[in-house]
Amino acid sequence: MLVPERCNSSVELAELGGEDDVVSMGQTVQEVGALLACPLDLGTDFGKCSHRMGKRMIRIRHSLVLALALLAGCGGEEKRAEIVYSVVREDVPTRIVVVEDDGTDARRVTGAKFRANPVLPTWSPDGQRIAFVRFTPAGGPEMLQTYVVNADGSGERQLGQGTLPVWTNDGRFVVVERPRTPPQPSTIHVLSADGRSQRRLIVGSAPAVSHRGSRIAFVRYTFGRRPDVVTSSSLYTVSLDGSGLRLIARTKGRQIRWVQPKWLPDDSAVTVAQRTGRVSGSGPLLTFSMNGRRRVIVPKVGETYDWSPKADMLAYTLGDVLSIVRPDGTEVDSFGQSNAIDIEWSPDGAMVAFSIPEGTQAGQFVGLYVIEVDEGKRRRFVITDGSVAYLDWRPVQP
């Protein structure tokens, strides 16, 4: 049975096909055990179990800290940072949740509406709003729509079509990609955060806004006769107003794709992960300076990666191992059974949060973990049903 590794974890279990609510660890150990035993029992059907629990999901609101402090010596007044996350599910409506990094004080910000599920949440620079994407599983030309909502769940508004939302550093705009079926090129658009305007910026994919907010890095693909074959990838930068388009680098090999461009904190260079072949095969993690100088950071990177706020460390996944290394490639630490889907450094650079799939015979679950870098400790703070989870740390306010 899957159980939280520490007393300060939270658990979510959503009812199939119904309104979904946050379920936090609380009240007593017996109540939590009963809640977990039903859907995770190997001989129990999850849907039937949900039916027995009632039309709506049981919501446990009270803090677990007191109950488990008496049993396990946990507790304390240590200040915690907040993380927003969402989970992709096939049959169950999803939600966006904000929770502290120890799994306490979980709260639902928004959920599924009109069969459109919220995913890919990202905090505004001031930590007061969350941009996210609603996707419609049934598809359609406008299946991906970007929204903004206040941190308390109020003021939700639609900004426009697009995905992979990225805030500008002044919080006035959200930059998105509007994907199209290859060989048609995707386009990048700038949406005003108040929902009043939007404009097409340029042809390209995977926009990344510089930390100063003045430029956007992106990739552009060239396709061959077959739409699933990329003949070249190009890395560009452009100003937010569309001026100053600059080619940084271009691939020289066939079926080589660059993905996930990210600026270094000082905006001196852009990092990309290289993929080879039609299937996303692992390749090197590369950094390009603004004059096109290329440097290999690590020889192979898997699903995702992220730089620490000072760029003095890099966290990345390869296979089922999550590694933390220095910019010269020397290892700081590594953790097995951590085939991360998403990786995010905390604003102070002290912790790394990540999500991993955790399947059992009872169904598919996702675990959210935090690594305390200095102590080399990994702990799980959320376990929830689903296949993929995306997360983001709330910015620290002065």
Residue 310 CB: number of other CB atoms within 10 A?
12
Per-residue pLDDT, averaged over 31-56, amounts to 31
Query: Which residues lie closer than 8 Å to 306 by C-beta, 6 or more apart?
Result: 262, 314, 315, 316, 343, 344, 345, 352
pLDDT at 318 over 60: yes
Of 17-21, 119-123, 124-128, 368-372, the range with the lowest mean pLDDT is 17-21
pLDDT at 17 over 60: no
- Rounded distance between C-alpha atoms, residue 296 and residue 309, angstroms: 20
The DSSP bridge pattern shows strands 230-239 and 256-263 to be unpaired
Per-residue pLDDT, averaged over 49-53, amounts to 32
- Single-letter residue type at 328: D
pTM comes to: 0.81
What is the average pLDDT score of the chain? 81
Strand blocks (E) in 89-197: 95-100, 107-111, 117-123, 129-135, 144-150, 157-161, 163-167, 173-178, 187-192
Per-residue pLDDT, averaged over 147-175, amounts to 97
The whole domain housing 49 covers 1-80
In a domain, 24, yes or no: yes
pLDDT at 376 over 90: yes
Of 45-54, 173-182, 371-380, the range with the lowest mean pLDDT is 45-54
Cis peptide before 183 (omega within 30 of 0): yes
Per-residue pLDDT, averaged over 365-382, amounts to 96
Classify the phi-psi angles of 254: left when phi > 0, otherwise alpha if psi is within -120 to 50, otherwise beta: beta
Q: What pLDDT band is residue 282 in, cutting at 50, 70 and 90?
A: confident
Structure tokens at 377: 């400790």
User: Do residues 121 and 138 make contact, with C-beta atoms less than 8 angstroms apart?
Assistant: no
pLDDT of residue 278: 59
pLDDT of residue 78: 62
Q: What pLDDT band is residue 136 in, cutting at 50, 70 and 90?
A: confident
Q: Comparing 183 with 346, which gets the higher pLDDT?
A: 346
Q: What pLDDT band is residue 102 in, cutting at 50, 70 and 90?
A: very high
pLDDT of residue 123: 98
**pLDDT tens digits along 173-202:** 999 999 998 889 999 999 999 999 999 999
**pLDDT tens digits along 85-99:** 999 887 777 899 999
In a domain, 196, yes or no: no
pLDDT of residue 279: 55
In a domain, 179, yes or no: no
Q: Comparing 382 with 35, which gets the higher pLDDT?
A: 382
User: Do residues 266 and 312 make contact, with C-beta atoms less than 8 angstroms apart?
Assistant: no
pLDDT at 170 over 50: yes
pLDDT of residue 18: 34
Of 26-35, 71-80, 234-243, 264-273, the range with the lowest mean pLDDT is 26-35
In a domain, 41, yes or no: yes
In a domain, 357, yes or no: no
In a domain, 61, yes or no: yes
The domain total for the chain is 1
- Single-letter residue type at 382: V
pLDDT of residue 7: 40
Q: What pLDDT band is residue 2 in, cutting at 50, 70 and 90?
A: very low
Question: Percentage of residues in the chain with pLDDT exceeding 90?
Answer: 65
Q: What pLDDT band is residue 12 in, cutting at 50, 70 and 90?
A: low
Tell me which residue has tokens 């990666």: 305
Q: What pLDDT band is residue 396 in, cutting at 50, 70 and 90?
A: confident
In a domain, 2, yes or no: yes
Tell me which residue has tokens 């508004």: 157
Query: Which residues lie closer than 8 Å to 343 by C-beta, 6 or more apart?
Result: 304, 305, 306, 315, 316, 317, 322, 352, 353, 354
Of 23-32, 152-161, 324-333, the range with the lowest mean pLDDT is 23-32
Q: What pLDDT band is residue 39 in, cutting at 50, 70 and 90?
A: very low
Per-residue pLDDT, averaged over 351-365, amounts to 86
pLDDT of residue 225: 81
pLDDT of residue 361: 63
pLDDT of residue 228: 76
The distance of Cα 182 from the centroid of its chain, to the nearest Å, equals 25
pLDDT of residue 90: 74
- Rounded distance between C-alpha atoms, residue 267 and residue 261, angstroms: 12
In a domain, 75, yes or no: yes
